[in-house]
Structure 1
Amino acid sequence: MRLLVLSDLHSEVWHDANATAKAGLETIQPDLRVSQPDIIVLAGDIEVGVRAVACSHEAFSGLPVIYVPGSHEGYGHNLDSLKRELGAACVATGHIHYLERRELILEGVRFLGATLWTDCRHLGSDHYQASMAEASTRLSDYRRIRLAKGGYRRIRPMDTVQWHSKIDGGLSKD
């Protein structure tokens, strides 16, 4: 099985405001011809919101696509509703599979997918609190992603720590 794995394209940053992520995804068409993948894996930070799904549907028609969102998909969005929107948009394409804390069996191969949020423990437990404080002021995720709970508030380092621990605990099949 041949996989073409794409991540961190951040097409929301480099295409002009009137273009779509499709223009960015079209630039990889030569890679498609050379690699002739059986499956495309989009491993996060492709484009904000659901735009990556629509563009991927066009760019990779005829191929199964596994889509695992990154943090940038949530920029400017309510993460709670965005997860539902991404799932619905993927289902509507008929060939893009949304994996957020889920598994997928495709052509006899088990794929596991989840957004791996920061747990702020990269410097060790002695620096955990300082790392959380630094993350909340320096990382764009904590300024640009919202949650519905708590009155449409920004995500916090404690949120991402909890989400990370759920991933550490295993992925669900549901």
Structure 2
Amino acid sequence: MTVLIIADLHLDMWTEAGRDPFAGLSAAAWSGIEAVIVAGDLTNKPRIRWKYAIRHLSRYIDPGRVHILPGNHDYYDFKLDGEDRLAEIARSEGAHFLQKSEVVIGNTRLLCCTLWTDFALHGDVAASQAIAKSRMNDYRYIRNAGAGYRRIRPYETAAIHQDHRSWLETRLPQSHLGPTVVVTHHCPHPQLISATPGELDPIYGSDLTGLIQRHQPEAWMFGHTHFQAETVIGRTLLRNVSLGYPDQVLTGQEGQILRRGLIDLQNLE
């Protein structure tokens, strides 16, 4: 039983570039996929563009087998406190919306949340939040409707990180007869953020080594960084499954990247 977990599709940008990344997988490969988990960044401007992206995916797989977890870009030109609307859009196209959600496929449970970051990676949360506010588009293009529709602030996404992290801490130790896969948009380990560490790293990931070591899920799949890396901590496989922007992917390379997200659930134990 195979699932495709893929992040950073940015399908609106691929459409503008006149390219279809999903054509990189053969019809035979698509026929063997039980479900698609979009691990964030389906498109920008979700109120307008999500429906077209889901319809595009439905050329390859029934939308009832598509599960969408929002990433930071899925709130662009939208609102951070608008997930009810995102869920409504997904449902209207026959797909499923994920946020602090458990999906069971076969005997495997997938625990899914966006995660965001705690900005604590370099030890100076205030400094990292200041860098994020000045340099990251998240804090320009995402709004907080409940606060007068102002731009969001880093402390707000940090609070969501703590909420999502607490949810994982609660769900992971719960008994389950089968493998567990965690799916997040943001990166859970500093080693996998970038090839060259820098001051933006705390905006892309957090150090959840302790959580991983305590609970040892079989796998943790994530995106956001567009840095295709993986490692193993104890028995847990950590893998980035970003596709990336079309100008980051050579023509003909799409299938190779998508196959990184093909997970055979029967071989996880």
TM-score scaled to structure 1, two decimals?
0.80
Cα distance in 2 for residues equivalent to 1:88 and 1:169 = 26
Paired with 1:13 and 1:72, the residues of 2 have a C-alpha distance of: 12
Name the structure 2 match of 1:34.
29
Higher relative contact order (CA 8 A, sep 6+): 2
**Alpha carbons 1:53, 1:86 under 8 Å: kept:** no
Could you tell me which residue of structure 2 aligns to residue 61 of structure 1? 62
The equivalent position to 1:164 in structure 2, one of 129, 141, 161, is 161
Q: Which runs of 5+ in 1 are unaligned?
A: none
Percent same amino acid among aligned pairs?
32
Higher helix share: 1
Give the SS at the match of 1:15.
helix
- In the alignment of these two chains, the number of paired residues is 164
1:25, 1:55 within 8 Å by CA — same for their partners in 2? no
Alpha carbons of structure 1 residues 165 and 62: separation in structure 2 relative to 1, 3 Å:
closer
Q: Kindly indicate whether residue 114 of structure 2 is the aligned counterpart of residue 118 of structure 1.
A: no
Cα distance change of structure 1 residues 74 and 59 upon mapping to structure 2, 3 Å threshold: farther
Could you tell me which residue of structure 2 aligns to residue 91 of structure 1? Answer: 91
1:6/1:167 CA distance change after superposition, 3 Å = same
**What is the CA distance between 1:168 and its match in structure 2?**
1.1
Indicate whether 1:148 and 2:145 are aligned: yes
Unaligned runs of 5+ in 2: 172-269
Q: CA RMSD in A?
A: 2.5
**Cα 1:89–1:107, aligned 2, differ >3 Å: closer, same or farther?**
farther
Q: Is the contact between residue 53 and residue 89 of structure 1 (CA under 8 Å) also seen in structure 2?
A: no
C-alpha contact 2:119 2:125 (8 A) present in aligned 1: yes
Name the structure 1 match of 2:10.
10
Other structure's SS at 1:121 match = coil
Question: Is the alpha carbon distance of 1:97 and 1:152 closer, same or farther for their aligned partners in structure 2, counting shifts above 3 Å?
Answer: same
